[in-house]
Structure 1
Amino acid sequence: MARFEEGRSISCPPLFEGEAYFQWSNVMKYFILAQDLEVWKIIEKGYMEAPKKKKKQQSENDTKAKLNSRAMHILLCGLNEEVSKKVSTCKSAKEIWEKLEKLYGKEEKRDGVPSCANLLQSSKVDGVLALDEPEVSSNSSISCSYSFDELQDAYDELVLEFENHILKNKKVVSNLKIQNDLISKTNNELEAKLKEFEQNNVNLQNLLQSLEKDHQKEIDDLKKEKDLISKECDWSKCQTKEGTFEDSEA
């Protein structure tokens, strides 16, 4: 009677210890899909918080945040201590998944290991056909089947991302406008002060010129007065001398 070894537990994620990354990532993908499709979407598409304008959007943010936390928990449970340390700073499940691909996927590609996407497209894993991947027909035409909900989610995420970019650009433009207004106001104040200084300087120069003229006039008047006094003194001396001369003759 044939005996079979026990397989992996369907309740525990596969453990990655730094080797055979593509094999582990493929098994982990199906493990997560079996747990919750929405969790895999968070890993695949990422988690981005929507602007908090309505209660509905706040509720969606909370739901996505919980899915992101659950996805991160599953991924970290599937890593040994050494690998877990390398992704401990990641803030989202998508960031963990992409960092593992960057750290271990490139090394396996250099060793000739096929990529996970090629593996899914070209073969079956554990007897199950790859899910959510393009089907290649005999005439090489690719037919991609996405549900309406998936397309709607992708569209909503693009709209939210676009709105976030608009909000950021509006804030930047608003800040630049405020700074420009402050600079213009400062320039106007400086120009006004410069004109006031120039006018004060002109007034001061005019005052100095006026004072110089008045001072020069006073000097000229004093000279004239001095000359007049000198002439009077000379005339009185002459008269005194003439009187003395006449007295001596008599």
Structure 2
Amino acid sequence: MFNGANFISWRDRMKIFSQSIDIDLWYVINEGPFEVTIIDDHTTRRREKTRDELTPQDKANLTLNAKVMNVLYNALDGNESTRVKGCISAKEIWDKWKEIHEGSDDVREQKKSLLVAKY
């Protein structure tokens, strides 16, 4: 269970664990959930499908996001799960953890630059 310590090791283990359940879980974490949308015939705009419009594949794709969110939430202790409360996708959870524990892309680049300059 992740308690905020040693994020890099935990991150790597979660990648392997999610892939061992279903390789598509890792894609959902990295790329975001599958969209279940359709072009509205009347407005020609994209909208979410209604429950009646969902295909079996749409339902399977929605289940992947729920499954991987369950995996991620159950791998956290109470304090860590509170930090990502309200996230609506596995990718959002993952990106938020990375920012909390590794810093933003800008912060990581600044750290790299400082290390390069130092050595």
Q: State TM-score, norm by structure 2.
A: 0.70
Which entry has the higher C-alpha Rg, 1 or 2?
A: 1
2:32 is aligned with what amino acid? G
1:35 to partner: Cα distance: 1.2
- Picking from 87, 95, 101, the partner of 1:104 is 101
1:34 aligns with 2:20: yes
16, 34, 37: which one aligns with 1:50: 37
Q: In the aligned structure 2, how far is the partner of 1:75 from the partner of 1:32?
A: 9
Residue matched to 2:41: none
Structure 1, unaligned stretches of length 5 or more? 1-14, 114-250
Deviation at 1:42, TM superposition (A): 1.2
Using CA pairs below 8 Å that are at least 6 residues apart, which structure has the higher relative contact order? Answer: 2
Say yes or no: does 1:59 pair with 2:53. no
- Cα gap change, 1:109/1:20 in structure 2, threshold over 3 Å: closer, same or farther? farther
Alignment-mate amino acid for residue 19 of structure 2:
L
Count of aligned pairs between the two proteins: 97
In structure 1, C-alpha distance between the alignment counterparts of 2:108 and 2:75, rounded to whole Å: 22
User: Displacement of 1:50 after TM fit?
Assistant: 2.3
- Mapped contact 1:75–1:93 kept (Cα < 8 A): yes
2:42 aligns to what? Answer: none
> 1: distance between equivalents of 2:31 and 2:89?
11
- Identity, % of aligned pairs? 27
Deviations 1:72-93 (CA, angstroms, capped at 9, x unpaired): 0000011110010011100111
Equivalent positions of 1:96-175 (< 5 A) are 96-106=93-103, 109=108
Structure that is richer in helix per residue: 1
Q: Any idea what SS the aligned residue of 1:94 has?
A: helix
Matched letter for residue 24 of structure 2:
E
The 4+ residue runs of structure 1 with deviation greater than 6 A are: none
Aligned residues of 1:50 and 1:57 also touching (Cα < 8 A): no
Shift of 1:67: 0.6
Q: Which residue of 2 aligns with 1:77?
A: 74
| RMSD between superposed Cα atoms in Å | 2.6
What is the TM-score with the length of structure 1 in the denominator? 0.35
Which amino acid is 1:18 matched to? Answer: G
Choose the corresponding residue for 2:90, options 89, 93, 110.
Answer: 93
Provide structure 2 residue ranges, at least 5 long, that are not aligned to the other structure. Answer: 39-48, 113-119
Other-structure match for 1:146: none
Give the Cα separation in 2 of the matches to 1:50 and 1:35: 26
> Distance in 1 between the 2:89 and 2:67 partners?
10
